[in-house]
Amino acid sequence: MRVMGIETSCDETAVAIVEAPAGPEPVGRILANVIYSQLTEHRRFGGVVPEIAARAHLERLDGLVTDALSEAGLGFADLDGIAATGGPGLIGGVMVGVMTAKAIAFAHDKPFLAINHLEGHALSVRLTEDVSFPYLLLLVSGGHCQLLTVDGPGRFTRLGTTIDDAVGECFDKTAKLLGLGFPGGPAVERAALTGDAMRFSLPRPMWRKPGCDFSFSGLKTAVRLAVEKLPANDQQAIADLCASFQRTVGDVLADRCANALALAPAPALVVAGGVAANAYLRSRLESLAASHGIRLVAPPVKLCTDNGAMIAWAGLERLRLGETDPLDFRPRPRWPLDPSVSMGR
């Protein structure tokens, strides 16, 4: 079974093709995975500009579809389905991907699958690792920070979420305050390598409190106040602040995950999303998982950030269950994984 996946929810234009047996085996194979990063378009603005992102998707997507087919050595006739991110995300970009996927599906009489972008992250680990349901998921990215139990495709129960800002947004804000550039996550991680993680004492919002929710707005404010007091051009102080910030985030994530494991014990802790590429945070979560006698599983770094392979894989998992979507599907700027929670939360 082979599925093409199209991802256009933010600032990565991506197309991939994956294959796997038609049965329930979790591990698949990536036949093509092409990505156009829009960093050049957005870097001078210090963040993603939705209108520019949508135009870049429109300009690049057709060529990437052709490139993916060429890389895989396949034609449209060899595909079993066409999947695209249907939300959540920047709605202009999502519309570009959905309309392209619908056109391909209609023209070549293939099933169309509208994929929740978050489900793409949530299931991506099963593309490369033998991970069975259920598992506990920590989903951490620039726009999302959630703890969920995953019982299967479309079967999610949210245990906690951020009550204000996402952890990835906090990384980006810290990098911007320190003049480290965009994207902020990798920049902060690099600077922290030579820093003293104990130099700055920063607040750990929600730490050691009941429940599984997160909060990062207070930490952002504390970083801003610390930056205002830094000596000019003191690179060591910048590295120390990055390391202290990263340690603080690790404390919070480990604490919240421990609460989640107590609430909903699981045989595996999975971390996914762009922030999951951070090696330090992975090590902290690895230690936590080991202390609970379970394993930590994370996608390869290249599959942590937005990519078409995770969308194709989520589409393949759904297609194996006989699920498809109609061509009148409407793109969604918001789309919670757990349908029982408020759309506005």
Q: Which long-range contacts (CB under 8 A, 24 or more apart) does 181-184 make?
A: 181/43, 182/39, 182/42, 182/43, 182/46, 182/47, 183/39
Neighbours of 108 (CB within 10 A): 12
pLDDT value of residue 343: 46
pLDDT value of residue 200: 97
Of residues 264 and 46, more confidently modeled = 264
Q: How confident is residue 344, by pLDDT bands cut at 50, 70 and 90?
A: very low
- Residues 290-302 have pLDDT tens digits of 999 999 999 999 9
- Residues 201-231 have pLDDT tens digits of 999 999 999 999 999 999 999 999 999 999 9
pLDDT tops 90 at residue 181: no
Token readout for 109 is: 């009489």
Q: What percent of the chain shows pLDDT beyond 90?
A: 87
pLDDT value of residue 312: 98
pLDDT tops 80 at residue 2: yes
CB 220 within 8 A of CB 170: yes
How far apart CA 53 and CA 33 sit, in angstroms, is 20
CB 96 within 8 A of CB 102: no
Gap between the terminal Cα atoms of the chain:
37
- Residues 56-115 have pLDDT tens digits of 999 999 999 999 999 999 999 999 999 999 999 999 999 999 999 999 999 999 999 999
pLDDT value of residue 234: 95
pLDDT value of residue 23: 72
Mean pLDDT of 249-262: 98
pLDDT value of residue 341: 79
**DSSP letter (8 states) at residue 95:** H
Q: What percent of the chain shows pLDDT beyond 70?
A: 98
Mean pLDDT of 284-289: 98
pLDDT value of residue 39: 72
Average pLDDT, the chain: 94
C-alpha pair distances (Å), 169 with each of 146, 217, 343: 14, 10, 20
In this structure, what is the dihedral angle of CA atoms 296, 122, 281, 6, given to the nearest 10 degrees?
A: 130
- 3-class DSSP state of 150: strand
Alpha helices per DSSP H over the chain: 39-43, 50-72, 91-107, 117-123, 125-128, 167-177, 184-192, 217-228, 235-263, 279-291, 308-320
pLDDT value of residue 44: 74
pTM of the model: 0.93
pLDDT value of residue 233: 87
pLDDT value of residue 330: 97
Residue 214, judged by CB atoms within 10 A of its CB (0-12, 13-18, 19+), counts as buried
Of residues 343 and 183, more confidently modeled = 183
pLDDT tops 50 at residue 345: no
Cβ-proximal residues to 157 (8 Å cutoff; 6+ apart), any chain: 148, 149, 151, 264, 338, 340
pLDDT value of residue 342: 58
pLDDT tops 80 at residue 130: yes
Structural domains of the chain, with CATH: 2-127+303-320 (3.30.420.40), 135-298 (3.30.420.40)
pLDDT value of residue 119: 97
